Amino acid sequence: MDKRVVVTGLGAISPIGNDVNEIWKSIEEKKCGIDEITAFDTTNFKTKLAGEIKNYDSSKYFDVKQAKRLDKVSQYAIIAAREAFKDSKITKENTNLNNVGIFVGSGIGGIETIQKQCETNTLKGNSRVSPMFIPMGIVNMPAGNIAIDLGLKGESISIVTACSSATHSIGEAYRAIKHGYEEVVLAGGSEAPICEVGLAGFENMKALSHSTDKNRASIPFDKERSGFVMGEGAAVIVLEELEHAKKRGAHIYAEIIGYGATSDAYHITSPDPNGEGGARAMQRAIDDAKITPEEIDYINAHGTSTHLNDSTETKAIKTVLKDYAKKVKVSSTKGNTGHLLGAAGSIEAIISIKAIENSLVPPTINYKVPDEECDLDIVPNEPIKQDINIVMSNSLGFGGHNASIILRKYKN
């Protein structure tokens, strides 16, 4: 018999806040976390803006030795996981930590470490490359370091599906609990891509916005959108088997009821322009949830602010929801955060959960110019107060990876 899966803990660090409460307050206040890049000199770059974490000081979270041995991608992951774990109130007294898993992915991993150590190898020779290079750079280490930090000994898995990594991680964690493989899983994603080589790679791909106006750079569904804005951070949610959560008296934020994943099999970076792959992922999630499209109150869209993504996702939503597509509320919160790549799906899952909790549909901020290709109700600029029972959250990644999850207000 399938088990019900609920959310009992939330944790995040992002360009619009260094904890969940601050992040949600920023959503309510329509705050844009995009600003001029401070991590390095952008003189030789066309791209000047990113969604950096503000006032980040590793010494608030780690001792000097720890910080030196952790790329920011692992630091952010641990910070988010600690908050989520504390929020869940799971302890070794009420939970067997051997049955607590970690499904935390990343699109790129420790790219800043890779850049620095490659520079060292070129300038100073191979003998000067750090022995910590590999453990700091590889993509599985956010999950591995969370397990070590919190003493969790269930499955520790890292899913790497570009910008779908976190949503896939949440979906696969849901399945693991639903089918009885784990009692509790910390799931989400982490990304720390804002360095010279990371920016250069995306810039030369012509994927990034070159706007110097922070309020007109990440503008999902706007006709003047010209590319996405890189963001950094991490978000982790605690998924738990319902009876286990009830037994220990946990606070339940929401229930996850559906998950769908597909591949476009089309192109290494571009989505299928018909949105066929994304549509199938959404339909699979709806089927898994055993709901009708008309029961969905809000869709947190992938909405990256690139021409192809936003128009393609619009087509996919129309394919699945048909006439109802024009009635459902659809917004992208990447206007607030920028695009957190492999962590995007988890920060957006948390925003979706808080939307359910607070009966508030987040807006698509900084929207000015309507696009006839993106003609859904994208909740422009102002949040909408309404009861929200069911939310779908979408992620679409390079390589044609598509994932959708469906969350529902918890009811006994």
- From 163, 195, 374, 401, the catalytic residue: 163
- From 195, 339, 374, 401, the catalytic residue: 339
Residue 30: closest CA among 266, 402, 361, 312: 361
CA distance 135 to 69: 8
Q: Is the dihedral of CA 193, 195, 198, 199 positive or negative?
A: positive
- To the query of whether residue 339 is one of the catalytic residues in this protein, the response is yes
CA distance 104 to 160: 9
- To the query of whether residue 302 is one of the catalytic residues in this protein, the response is yes
Alpha helices in 105-163 (DSSP H): 111-124, 133-137, 141-150
> CA 15, 395, 206: angle at the middle one, nearest 5?
70
CA distances from 280 to 286, 298, 319, 394 (A): 10, 18, 9, 12
CA distance 90 to 84: 10
Output the six-digit token pair for 193.
Answer: 């891509």
Other residues' Cβ atoms within 10 Å of the Cβ of residue 180: 11
DSSP string, 308-371: HHHHHHHHHHHHHHGGGGGTSEEE-THHHH-B-GGGHHHHHHHHHHHHHHHTEEPPBTT--S--
CA distance 257 to 290: 8
DSSP at 61 = T
- From 32, 195, 244, 302, the catalytic residue: 302
CA dihedral 38, 41, 46, 52 (to 10 degrees): -20
CA distance 285 to 57: 39
CA distance 203 to 102: 32
Phi/psi at 235 (5° precision): -145, 140
Residue 255: closest CA among 1, 7, 3: 7
Output the six-digit token pair for 102.
Answer: 């970690």
Q: Which residues are catalytic?
A: 163, 302, 339
